[in-house]
Structure 1
Amino acid sequence: MTSTQTPLGSGFGADSTAAQVLEGVDLHGRRALVTGGYSGIGIEGVRALDAAGAQVVVPARRVDEAREALADVPDVQVVPLDLSDLQSVRAAAEGLAAQGDPFDIVIAGAGVMASPYQLVGDGWESQFATNHLGHFALVNRLWPHLADGARVVSVSSVGHHRSGIRWDDMWFAGGYDKWDAYGQSKTANALFALELDRLGADRGIHAYSLHPGGILTPLQRHLPKQEQIAMGWIDEYGTPSDVFKTTEQGAATQIWAATSAKLADHGGVYCEDCDIAPMADGDQRVGVKPWAHDPEQAQRLWQLSAELTGVNAFA
């Protein structure tokens, strides 16, 4: 059952790392899928899961690069996947399904941010298509191959504060704003988890979304240095602001959501700093906006996403 946005007092916080979250947790015999698991916070999450004993699969658009980045995690499996290409999503899902072993954890962490205007698929704005529709199709195709009681973790962002779902102009025909597009896709990530948690209740499968915190990673690849300086993210020498988390800290909330026993009865929630986040209050960039935690919008988005991708495990 989807829960309200009330912090639990998890015992962890903004400074916690993925390794600390998993201290004393035994994941031997568990299988995890982590998109975006070969750079940034994704690779730190993979390392933490592997150290706790999980078998980890990392889908990657750049397979050789992923294998090189994960060379220090010898038991990880890398498989090809381009989230912006639904044929690639289908092939990846079919290949993983053929392996037979179910997944206990799915972390949907791959994504793009503030990228130049581009349409993919059937005329879909690329950030929405990659960050949301690709993961929507992947999880639906893998649904029969998720273990009962599995968890699906959708990595959203405080960027969702920028925009709800633009139902009247989702593809920005009226003019493109890279940050509004990113915000819309991150709202979609949260709504996806909200509805998936409702749909998965009969199998005990829970879904969660989260803001990992501010972290400087390859996600910023589309932002020129001068823009990052103007936003106060880095100084003229490229030194990050001290408000940013390390990648190890940035990976913590997704790993906490994927494994914490405290969340067992709190499906569908949006998390930050290793706890359930409150509802956003005013202009503060903390918590989840109402438009990203609205069951009606979540159901509406699910139906639209199913129509766009042609995939719906619950049809």
Structure 2
Amino acid sequence: MTTTAQQHIGSGFGAHSTAEDVLRGIDLSGKLAVVTGGYAGLGLETTRALAGAGAHVVVAARRPGTAEKALDGHAEVAELDLADLESIRRFADAFLASDRSADILVNNAGIMACPETRVGPHGWEAQFAINHLGHYALANRLWPALARDGGARVVAVSSAGHMRGGIHWDDVQFTHGYDKWRAYGQAKTANALFALHLDTLGRDAGVRAFSVHPGPIMTTLQRHLTTEEMTELGWIDEHGTVRTDFKTPAQGAATQVWAATSPRLAGEGGAYCVDCDIAGPDAVREWATDPDQAARLWALSAELTGVDAFA
């Protein structure tokens, strides 16, 4: 089994497909999915779709009270703060103590283009810490549950934002000049590299991983951007109207749900996906698909977090 090539496979779905569309005819009864941030935006649509297909969904939530209200009993909620390694350990330990397998892990939660923010005792840059390091630590701590029955899938929600740049190896924490978009680009590249290397490490245990770009969509992810910034980016016009090619939340969640469940991806892994298909080479930069950089990032992440299930 090797890493899947970056070329379309003709999934039969596309940019306008919804999470419900890609699950039609798929029965997830008896399956358990863990979705970070699965109570707002794309995460909520992902949770609804997976639960609607019969899966038991555990939503890892920084704000469990808010999650309980949003989910209204349709998913299990457990507290998790991706900026806090101790919170991640508590979540994973409690899950492992429940003696359950995890068939799907969707690393969905994230932040984008926030003002310079430092988290944790070491003052890590927040976008790298939350979008990448927290999910890295979570997947490694949940590894026994993922590997338990074989066939599990891990989906890392990346973004076309990875095109803004690769890993800043000389200063991953942006201690010498913070730029919110370069930091976001690094974090999204890290998501893709994480999936690539986890797939390499996990495939012998039957665990495969993918990264995905949900597509352009308006969600709470834009909370740190002003109207002026979004107008300048061309996402909205001067009247605040969102661009017509932006996806709905249900369409935006489709690619991560497809990557987590599609029978077409059996035996595949490590690829970056867009619009419910494997992305072609023009849709992903080489720095996000480089196995050497993926291995280097894994080693750095293990050093920073003190966690590595494969050590």
User: Do the structures match in fold with TM over 0.5?
Assistant: yes
Aligned to 1:129: 129
Summarize deviations over 1:21-40 as a string: whole Å, max 9, x none: 00010000000000121111
Aligned to 1:207: 209
| In 2: Cα distance, 1:148 partner to 1:106 partner | 13
1:25 aligns with 2:26: yes
| In 1: Cα distance, 2:295 partner to 2:234 partner | 37
Cα deviation for residue 235 of structure 1 reads 2.7
1:303 aligns with 2:302: no
| In 1: Cα distance, 2:75 partner to 2:67 partner | 10
Map residues 253-272 of structure 1 onto 2, 5 A cutoff. Answer: 253-272=255-274
| In 2: Cα distance, 1:231 partner to 1:205 partner | 38
Identity %: 61
Aligned to 2:289: 293
| In 2: Cα distance, 1:61 partner to 1:165 partner | 26
| In 1: Cα distance, 2:229 partner to 2:40 partner | 22
| In 2: Cα distance, 1:236 partner to 1:3 partner | 42
| In 1: Cα distance, 2:33 partner to 2:56 partner | 6
Cα deviation for residue 18 of structure 1 reads 0.3
Aligned to 1:95: 94
1:77 aligns with 2:73: no
| In 1: Cα distance, 2:165 partner to 2:189 partner | 7
Q: 8 Å contact 2:194–2:298 — kept in the other structure?
A: yes
Aligned to 1:59: 60
Does the residue aligned with 2:153 lie in a helix, a strand or coil? strand
Summarize deviations over 1:82-113 as a string: whole Å, max 9, x none: 00010111111111111111110000000000
| In 2: Cα distance, 1:28 partner to 1:129 partner | 34
Q: Which segments of 5 or more consecutive residues in structure 2 lack a partner in the other structure?
A: none
User: In the alignment, residue 259 of structure 1 is paired with which amino acid?
Assistant: T
Q: 8 Å contact 2:37–2:62 — kept in the other structure?
A: no
Map residues 190-205 of structure 1 onto 2, 5 A cutoff. Answer: 190-205=192-207
Does the residue aligned with 1:234 lie in a helix, a strand or coil? coil
Normalising by structure 2, we get a TM-score of 0.97
Normalising by structure 1, we get a TM-score of 0.96
Does the residue aligned with 2:142 lie in a helix, a strand or coil? helix
Summarize deviations over 1:281-302 as a string: whole Å, max 9, x none: xxxxxx1100000000000000
Cα deviation for residue 174 of structure 1 reads 2.1
Does the residue aligned with 2:281 lie in a helix, a strand or coil? coil
Q: Which segments of 5 or more consecutive residues in structure 1 lack a partner in the other structure?
A: 281-286
User: In the alignment, residue 68 of structure 1 is paired with which amino acid?
Assistant: K
| In 2: Cα distance, 1:107 partner to 1:173 partner | 30
| In 2: Cα distance, 1:93 partner to 1:188 partner | 22
Query: How many pairs align?
Result: 307
Map residues 131-210 of structure 1 onto 2, 5 A cutoff. Answer: 131-146=131-146, 147-210=149-212
Summarize deviations over 1:218-255 as a string: whole Å, max 9, x none: 00000011111221212344321112100000000000
| In 2: Cα distance, 1:4 partner to 1:173 partner | 36
User: In the alignment, residue 253 of structure 2 is paired with which amino acid?
Assistant: A
Aligned to 1:113: 112
User: In the alignment, residue 131 of structure 1 is paired with which amino acid?
Assistant: N
Q: 1:248 aligns with which of 247, 250, 255?
A: 250
Aligned to 2:42: 41
